[in-house]
Amino acid sequence: MQHLTDLFITIQGWLFDTFVQPVLFALGLASYVEMGFEGVEFVLLGCIELVIAYLLMRPLEAWWPAEKWAERRAVKVDIIYSVLNRMGVIPLVVFVLLAPVFMELESWLRFHDVIPRQLEDWLPGLDTKPLASFVIYLVILDFAEYWRHRLSHTFGWWWALHGIHHSQRQMSFWTDSRNHLLDDVIAGVWFACLSLLIGVPPGHFIGLLIALRLVENLSHTNTRLDFGTIGDYLIVGPRYHRWHHAIDLPADPRFQKGCNFAILLPIWDILFGTLYLEKGLPPTGIHERNAEEIAARDNFWAQQKLGLVLFWKALTGPGKSRSA
Ligand SMILES: [Zn+2]
Ligand SMILES: [Zn+2]
């Protein structure tokens, strides 16, 4: 393990010295050096996460697919999203946009003594138990992710963006990153704000993000493999999330906006009455309403444009949230 950590730090240092530092100095941004170094770590871990996801999940799709496809053309656009997201382009944009705001916000909160006591302050023994504190933070963040996801199906303006994630009819592990760029920014702000407010230790932050991302990749995998009758109620798997992506919503009015919003732990759907888990593996997608929406199904730029148009319409008029 130590060898791997050393190798990681060596690569991080090389990337930083070769590409990032010269650019920062050239742009007169020397004060961002430390942030730049952390940014490289973020990008590098994103790449590693994507390689792990590919090595673990691509064989599942090849050997035990939920759906067999005649061709994989529709998957291409999701690969673009994954590369942009995991290789750091989107996180970098979010980071550049948010870093100054966050620094301000953090110092304001600290100045006014609002920065919450960390979990370790409430549970004193916890700082000697990093695994326990990791799990507790994971559960809290997952709870917040459940509500972010559920609200993105509830508000018309948010569904205008999140609908892009649902428009994929050939869902694969790449589909996890298929999100409108603005939706990514909102999700990034949501996650970062909460992490700040509950005082996630910086050492945990990336680990938490990677743990959630791997589960999210797996839950989109086109495979009939599941976690078993009990396991599927304990952790979100491919069958569980496929029902969330089902093209037709369950008839029950409780699921008018969707079902199975949980990202990691089904317990939130169970507690808040949004669980719907049947035996089968339904087809995925949404029913597009016009030719423009159909044309956007496989096209990155058309999706970005459509999302913004619908977003604006929803903000300025009666928007449509997720509905059958
Ligand atoms: Zn959704
Ligand atoms: Zn999804």
Please spell the DSSP secondary structure of 164-202, one letter per residue: HHHT-SS--GGGGG---HHHHHHHHHHHHHHHHHTT--H
pLDDT per residue as tens digits for the range 250-287: 888 889 899 999 999 999 999 999 999 988 899 999 99
pLDDT of residue 180: 95
Ligand closest in space to the Cα of 148: 1
**Ligand 1 geometric centre to CA of 173 (Å):** 15
pLDDT of residue 91: 62
130 pLDDT above the threshold of 80:
no
Mean pLDDT of the chain: 87
pLDDT per residue as tens digits for the range 198-253: 777 766 767 777 888 899 999 999 999 889 889 999 999 999 999 999 999 888 88
Which 8-state DSSP code applies to residue 75? G
Ligand closest in space to the Cα of 145: 1
C-alpha–C-alpha distance, residues 162 and 119, integer Å: 32
Structure-token match 């053309």, residue found: 73
**CA torsion through residues 101, 102, 105, 108, sign:** negative
* pLDDT band for position 4 (cuts 50, 70, 90): confident
Among 174, 175, 208, residue whose Cα is nearest residue 194: 208
**Ligand 2 geometric centre to CA of 48 (Å):** 21
pLDDT of residue 234: 96
Which 8-state DSSP code applies to residue 90? H
Contact by Cβ (8 Å): 110, 204: no
Angle between helices 76-86 and 33-63 (to 10 degrees): 150
**Ligand 1 geometric centre to CA of 198 (Å):** 25
46 pLDDT above the threshold of 50:
yes
- Give the residue with greater pLDDT, 2 vs 241: 241
158 pLDDT above the threshold of 90:
yes
* pLDDT band for position 64 (cuts 50, 70, 90): very high
- Give the residue with greater pLDDT, 136 vs 166: 166
Ligand closest in space to the Cα of 284: 2
pLDDT of residue 275: 96
Ligand closest in space to the Cα of 150: 1
**Ligand 2 geometric centre to CA of 102 (Å):** 28
| CA triple 75-76-78, angle to 5 deg | 70
pLDDT of residue 324: 45
